[in-house]
Structure 1
Amino acid sequence: MAKFFVPKSHPRYWSLYYRHKLEEALEKGILATAGLIAHGRGEAFDYLIGETTIEPAEKAMKAAIAKLLLAEHPVLSVNGNVAALVPKETIELAKALNAKLEINLFYRTEERVRAIAEELKKYDPEIELLGINPTKRIPNLESERGKVDENGIWKADVVVVPLEDGDRTEALVKMGKFVITVDLNPLSRSARMADITIVDNIVRAYPRMIELAKEMRELPRKELEKIVAEYDNGKILSDVLIHMKSRLEKLAEEGVWRRENL
């Protein structure tokens, strides 16, 4: 397996590091080739927001954590990109929220399921992973993504579907699930169909969500309910687009030629 030789002094070190993690995941059978395309698309939108966690994303994360802490059966869905980029953080977040983990794949093969399970178990050999042998199917969803575990997504009241495809998000919403997504593209169908959309890079979002879960889990139930009730996903998505527009206008006015920090 190819080694990563980029020095930390390189201005694009972290971007290249995570690309390398995806390349490794592809070699291990964790990632489908389409996952590379999805990551590249996300990186483009990350450039537009400034490769930082913006205020609308912070608000969305707080509402998401509040809802997850209120949930009776929260589930975090895991696909190849999630397993490649944030395997340790996914487990930590699930534990902080007392949530279940379920492997769910669009390009599902038993080999990929096993590879993802093995990757996650490196960080916690005892972790319970659902979705290995799914017995239920999401109504009106014919893809392999429709296969779910009866004790996981099928039973869940709140589902986190990061780096998601829009058809399953829509199908889950139609089932009456409360859906939270992490998606750098605010215009995607997943972003627009979800109840809460966190427009941020998952490598920044999950560590911050772990912090928030630890900070917020002692809050009174009424306070958590208030946070969720006051959240408006449509406004959040609009605020993200306004942020992108304002940032691009500022860069256009100031000039981008040889600017060190875009």
Structure 2
Amino acid sequence: MAEAEIPEDHPRHDSLVTRHRIEAGVEKGITSRQGLIAQGRGEAFDYLLGERTLPSADAAARAAAAHLLLADHPVVSVNGNAAALVPGELVALADAVGADLEVNLFNRTEERMRAIVDHLLDHGASEVKGLAADARLPNLTHERAKVDADGIADADVVLVPLEDGDRAAALADLGKAEIVIDLNPMSRSVQVADVPIVDNILRAIPNITAHAHELAHAERAELERIVGAFDAAATLDDAERAIRDGDLS
């Protein structure tokens, strides 16, 4: 069944759409087979969350938008699953906050890199970084260490959806403000993030964009107030509580 053929009133509509996009991503060479496993793990957490955006996750998305709008050089990092799931939405977010898009992969090949760059260009991006790989993040020995000197290496705020924990820690060690989207509130990635967003990327990216549009003309002092008032630990505690105590009936 193609994505367009999934009835919108199907009780598992969003889940089926997500699976279809990941499967199509593998066929296009965008998503790795390991990405299928990661997607299944995330879907399990989303089910426990009730497949909804918690108020704390919405507040985190608003703080993320404020961070990105305040940044001198924001960058949205893109991996294979993110590119397969929300390519147009990532482009829209980058446009809304004036951010660069940069592809960064653990299972990196030149073919996958080019496929994802082309995929984002096909969805409206004017430029996508990541192919130059002329800088490295310190203390990482795998392919995620490769970044563009005028992209992630130079960024002051980085949004890293569906991230690996060790690179999240490496970015944090460099003093970059880090926004992480992850459905597991206990993952290493969100634990080191300045703004952890425990939500499905299909909901989180459009939500950040909506907040960015709402805050586009806000005074700098208001954006700084939003950033300063955000409590990362309380956000993670709320998500974990929702997962452990949620009513699945």
CA contact (8 A) 2:89 2:206 kept: yes
Residue of structure 2 equivalent to 1:221: 220
Residue of structure 1 equivalent to 2:53: 53
Give a deviation string over 1:27-55, Cα, whole Å, max 9, x none: 11000111111111100010111101111
Displacement of 1:70: 0.5
Distance (whole Å) between structure 2 residues aligned to residue 66 and residue 51 of structure 1: 25
Partner SS, residue 158 of structure 2: strand
Equivalent runs, 1:236-251 vs 2, <5 Å: 236-248=235-247, 251=248
Displacement of 1:247: 1.6
TM-score by structure 2 length?
Answer: 0.96
CA contact (8 A) 2:45 2:243 kept: no
Equivalent runs, 1:1-262 vs 2, <5 Å: 3-4=2-3, 5-124=5-124, 127-248=126-247, 251=248, 256=249
Distance (whole Å) between structure 2 residues aligned to residue 29 and residue 120 of structure 1: 13
Give a deviation string over 1:70-121, Cα, whole Å, max 9, x none: 0000000010011100000000000000000000001000000111011111
Residue of structure 2 equivalent to 1:260: none
Matched to 1:62, the amino acid is: R
Give a deviation string over 1:109-140, Cα, whole Å, max 9, x none: 0000111011111122x611111121000001
Displacement of 1:191: 1.1
Displacement of 1:240: 1.2
Residue of structure 2 equivalent to 1:259: none
Q: Which runs of 5+ in 2 are unaligned?
A: none
Query: What is the aligned-residue RMSD (CA, Å)?
Result: 1.3
Displacement of 1:14: 1.9
Partner SS, residue 161 of structure 2: coil
Distance (whole Å) between structure 1 residues aligned to residue 34 and residue 101 of structure 2: 22
Partner SS, residue 30 of structure 2: coil
Work out which of the two has the higher radius of gyration on C-alpha atoms and give 1 or 2.
1
Q: Which runs of 5+ in 1 are unaligned?
A: 257-262
Matched to 2:21, the amino acid is: K
Partner SS, residue 178 of structure 2: strand
Percent of aligned pairs with the same amino acid: 52
